[in-house]
Amino acid sequence: MAKELKIVGKRQPKIDGWERVSGKAKYASDIYLPGMLYGKILRSPHPHAKVVNIDVEKAKALPGVKAILTYKDISAFSWYQAPFRFNTDMPILTDLARFTGDDIAAVAAVDEDRAEEALDLIKVDYHPLPFVLDPEEALKPEAPKIHSQGNIIGGKPFILERGNLEKGFQEADLVYEGRYYTPMLQHVTAEPRVCVAHWDRGKLTVWDSLQYTFGLQAGLAHIFKIPMSKVRVICDFMGGGFGDKVAPERYNVLASILSMKTGHPVRIEFSREENFLATHHRYPTICYLKYGAKKDGTLTAIQAKVIADMGAYCHLDGAFGIMETMKGVYRCPNLKGESYNVYTNKPEGGFMRCVGHPQGQFAQEVHMDIMAEKLGLDPMNFRLKNYARLEDGDQDRKIPFSSNGMEECIRKAAEAFGWGQKWQKPGTSPGPQKRGLGMAIHSCRHGAMSPPSTGMVRINSDGTVNVFTGAADIGGGQKSAMAMIAAEELGIPLETVSVTSADTEVTLDTGGTWGSRQTFSGGTGIKLAAADAKRQLFEIAAKELNTGTENLEVKSGGIYPLGSDKGIPITEVLRKAPATITGRGTGSLPQGVITHCFAAHFVEVEVDTLSGKVRVIRLVAAHDVGKAINLMATENQIEGGAIQGMGFGLTEDQIFDQATGICVNPNLVDYKVFTMKDIPEIQPLIIEPIDPYGPFGAKGVGEPPYSAPAPAIANAIYNAIGVRFTELPINIRSILEGRNKGSKA
């Protein structure tokens, strides 16, 4: 690792940046094919209702309508049991609507207006049923059953135990209990869900805005019982994923069936409203925490009951995603966790940036902040006392971390922020515009290696390189990272590298672009592939230079014996190769360690106690990324994640009318994301402990920046005005209500 890096670690504008900003990039939403039809989905207006009758005759008779599907037409297709899908309770089209927006029918027509009109002409008689929106209500025996097996998914909570909880509480000098709530959120990707499916005589091609094209390929092959070699899924450019686009979903399947039935390509593109009503969501959560600590701050017991409101269908084990934060951020020998995944008559809970961790961390980091104050400790020192060390790792399975930069994150961020100098007693800020400081830490398993980890590198006869990665570039700069890794490993200029990604026909499955895993997982595949290609070059060059392959290096377009200036140009080596040199790489899961990413955020806020407006003044975000492959992209990820995380803390909240079960703010006017005017100065700090297993020491960074801002802000607001908020978002109404509460306190 002593070798000087020439490309990795630099600030590199995205290699496909020009395509992106010039509008030349082809996103799935830019795909228009000859003869293409427009698909639209009819959605339930009721949160819970039986379809008694459905009459499509009038719609069918409308000129330009080419196909109509209802639940009766999809019985031949069984849903795909993807390994990463927790539960398969979702029919492709349903005759029992379980949320407002549930998929009842689909049409394909020659244009969008005709398709909309056809939807209007489908007559559905619904028998409305009682519904439930609150997960704690849904747990009660008298609640309406949303699925036949009851509202607790899996029938019972998952229990996690470590050590002796009772003993832990007995050892504690302080035991503190709290309840925390986080709301439903939408990803608000720049590009809503969209796909174009083209079924052409048993071969199915799908352009999709998708984090995992290979997953959709496998899913569609399974659903349609055709070979995977006859399914091609393409995602070249993508306008954001954030976990909403992990495939396969109903709309992909519906577009494919409609294409099969009509013989035309079919496009289904969600409106912004549909993205709110009928995609995945960050699931609302309720956490009951009871922690015990000694006077010196040592945590002795963690007890957590987590309720994840997974909506009408369950995409993943959301509750355990939350529990991971209680289980792993701090060292604690005694723990009991109880995780409930609960059905409600709301849209499906799914993956969203850092999945359950932001919800869990909001609860835990506010909880810890309260305990620090009660113990009379500086909140930073309380965390430094308890954070899980390198050797702690997985405390249940007793596996250490592969690397751990938590302490450096906390100390460097505190120093950059001026924590020591600025610290004030909570509630002491004078005047109506009150300033306050807060901090939170974060650690999670995102950013680690997980198989499959593959890559392929081809060296053209002029010495330039094509890189093939199955990783979708969802906007995070995955193409650039892969190019930089390949160029660095091969010792060639970055400008000579071209990247092909995520096209299932021509790249290799290296897993989904989620879990911040592609830098580590896809990147390892590419690094090994480049090394394999270099080895082949060296084998030829070694013969020519009468030396061993171990004595060679690449520099200035040639291969040289180490320390010598007499080498041979790569192009000449290539002329002696029997064929185009192609390198393959397959990474494997590091054994005996687990990999986590670590972070510490420090934030200063100003609370206008008159208007209720909270302004974030400054955010210092230190992240252990192992090693930044592209420094610019790493900083961008930290900034982007932190911005979303601030929205989670202060503004975002998808709201349902309690009387009707209808979402009242499915649009970007009423659902408030953080915008440019809200964004404070963000100072990313890159902490590089060099992970021994990552490519050039790198770990991922996409998700962790989301998790720390909300609790740090909540803690800073408390520091400013002396009012504790345990429910998100802390919006203007919260502040105005809390101000009263605070002044009363």
Task: Give residues in contact with a copy of itself (CB under 8 A).
Answer: 18-19, 22, 24, 200-201, 203, 217-218, 221-222, 227-230, 451-454, 456, 458, 460-462, 464-466, 468, 495-498, 500, 503, 505-506, 508-510, 525, 578-580, 582, 584, 586-588
Q: How many residues does the chain have?
A: 745
CA distance 615 to 739: 15
Q: To the nearest whole angstrom, how small is the minimum distance from the Cβ of residue 495 to a copy of itself? A: 7
Q: Token pair of 232, please? A: 């091609």
CA distance 378 to 382: 6
Q: By C-beta, is 525 or 666 nearer to a copy of itself?
A: 525
Look at the alpha carbons of 324, 706, 250, 124 in this order and tell me if their dihedral is positive or negative: positive
User: Cis peptide before 430, with omega less than 30 degrees from 0?
Assistant: no
User: Could you tell me whether strands 37-43 and 266-269 are parallel, antiparallel, or unpaired per DSSP bridges?
Assistant: parallel
CA distance 673 to 280: 17
Q: To the nearest whole angstrom, how small is the minimum distance from the Cβ of residue 502 to a copy of itself? A: 13
Q: Cα–Cα–Cα angle for 304, 309, 310, nearest 5°? A: 120
How many CA atoms within 13 Å lie on the side-chain side of 121? 17
Backbone angles phi, psi at 498, to 5 degrees: -120, 145
Sheet with 681-687, side-by-side order of all strands: 433-444, 597-608, 614-624, 681-687
- For 334, residues 6+ apart whose C-beta sits below 8 A from its C-beta are 162, 163, 164, 165, 167, 168, 169, 300, 301, 302
Q: By C-beta, is 19 or 112 nearer to a copy of itself?
A: 19
Q: By C-beta, is 189 or 256 nearer to a copy of itself?
A: 256
Q: By C-beta, is 120 or 200 nearer to a copy of itself?
A: 200
Q: Cα–Cα–Cα angle for 117, 118, 124, nearest 5°? A: 115
CA distance 138 to 308: 11
CA distance 530 to 582: 9
Q: To the nearest whole angstrom, how small is the minimum distance from the Cβ of residue 244 to a copy of itself? A: 24
DSSP-based three-state secondary structure for 737 = helix
Q: To the nearest whole angstrom, how small is the minimum distance from the Cβ of residue 202 to a copy of itself? A: 9
Q: To the nearest whole angstrom, how small is the minimum distance from the Cβ of residue 581 to a copy of itself? A: 10
Q: To the nearest whole angstrom, how small is the minimum distance from the Cβ of residue 230 to a copy of itself? A: 6
Q: To the nearest whole angstrom, how small is the minimum distance from the Cβ of residue 224 to a copy of itself? A: 12
Burial code (b: 16+ CB inside 10 Å, e: under 16) for 702-716 equals: bbbbbbbbbbbbbbb
Q: To the nearest whole angstrom, how small is the minimum distance from the Cβ of residue 695 to a copy of itself? A: 15
Q: To the nearest whole angstrom, how small is the minimum distance from the Cβ of residue 453 to a copy of itself? A: 7
Q: By C-beta, is 24 or 389 nearer to a copy of itself?
A: 24
Note the Cα 577 to chain centre separation in Å.
Answer: 43
Q: By C-beta, is 128 or 227 nearer to a copy of itself?
A: 227
Q: To the nearest whole angstrom, how small is the minimum distance from the Cβ of residue 283 to a copy of itself? A: 30
Q: By C-beta, is 252 or 651 nearer to a copy of itself?
A: 252
End-to-end CA distance of the chain: 57
Q: Which amino acid is at 505?
A: E
User: Cis peptide before 452, with omega less than 30 degrees from 0?
Assistant: yes
Q: By C-beta, is 430 or 578 nearer to a copy of itself?
A: 578
Measured N-to-C along each axis, helices 709-721 and 357-375 cross at an angle, to the nearest 10 degrees, of 30
Q: By C-beta, is 205 or 209 nearer to a copy of itself?
A: 205
Q: By C-beta, is 24 or 295 nearer to a copy of itself?
A: 24
Q: By C-beta, is 231 or 289 nearer to a copy of itself?
A: 231
